[in-house]
Homo-oligomer: A and B are copies of this chain.
């Protein structure tokens, strides 16, 4: 533990780490660990899609011409293919275009302008509304709330989902209309919601009768280990608890097939799906059904989908291993950082000592290593503890991830030593 070192040992350790950092910096690398996006090799896994559906292949199983207008809910065989993954019957699924974020955005916009099933009036006509935001969380979720003036209330994550005692207390306020959830391999903490967490979210008493869980199951099949974690089916849990309309479930194939040319999904209760389709029908005559056929032709069935995800895992798992190996090797038992080894998802979340995150990002930048801005995982980009770092190892090559992880560990150590030295100087003064 750095905190336990004698003055002389701290100074010596500091000098050694500074030297290592300087050597790292002198390599003049250009590394980027900010981007939670698939690497080119992962996109290559879907190479077969680029020439699909292929000549004359434009009819759905029902005989509809996928080239023409229509079909706002999405092609039936695509909804069937993803039914198990989404935990919803095909008739309770809507297939969108390439971004589940867009379906979340539109759900909020329509809630603001029209209300959702159970609303007394449009959310935008309330004097104020708020969303619960488990932290650390996904910056693009928070950006939608900020865009539309929805107050964000942070709730700490616990390792098995958000702090439910806090959540249950906060949702008694009728101004709280929604809550962001990334329930499996959460962004960025990689934790998954326990069954108890899901049950309590489904059954808790809410002040707003039209409260909604925005259940972004972005990493539903994005396992990094053999464990293939499953979480409780939130739609079933809500129905069982007598709150059938509580959850809007979202997912996409952006990190399954092609990041920019995937399919997005909305799944929910009968009333919510009817509501969503009524709104969506004002916006479009239908989604890109050829891209839906392209997905069915390529993935074929759920087994094909799972096998495809195994290929992603084979490319991703070594990168995550490299990150956590480097952190463990340098930081174990130093008291400078806490992290968990992700068993799924796209991020490694690291909590450094309070006030040190932005210093780590600055040190890294100075050494040619781009990290996500400190605070990005908090509402309004402001981490009150300045302690959370989000690392994204998917995009760089394995050798770059190795170099970057070594650099990150050094920056964290250096910041911790600086901070400890400053603390002692301040105590001595």
A residues near B (Cβ < 8 Å) are 37-38, 40, 43, 46-47, 50-58, 65-71, 97-99, 101-102, 105-106, 109, 112-114, 124, 140, 143-144, 147-148, 254, 258-261, 279, 282-291
Contacts and interface: CB of A to CB of B under 8 A. Distances in A.
B56 A259 contact: no
A112 B51 CA distance: 41
A258 B67 contact: yes
Contacts of A58: 43, 50
Contacts of A144: 282-283
Q: Is the interface of A mostly helix, strand, loop or mixed?
A: loop
A147 to B, nearest CB: 5
Given A260-B288, A283-B102, A65 B40 contact: yes
Given A47-B56, A66-B260, A69-B259, 15 more contacts: A43-B58, A43-B67, A46-B67, A47-B55, A50-B54, A50-B55, A67-B259, A68-B258, A70-B260, A105-B284, A106-B283, A112-B113, A140-B282, A140-B285, A260-B290
A155 to B, nearest CB: 22
Nearest to A98: B288
Contact of A290 (B40, B261, B289): B261
A282 B147 contact: yes
Contact of A43 (B38, B55, B68, B287): B68
A259 B105 contact: no
A74 B332 CA distance: 46
Contacts of A261: 66-67, 288-291
Given A67-B260, A260-B68, A261-B291, A283 B99 contact: yes
Contacts of A259: 67-69
Nearest to A68: B259
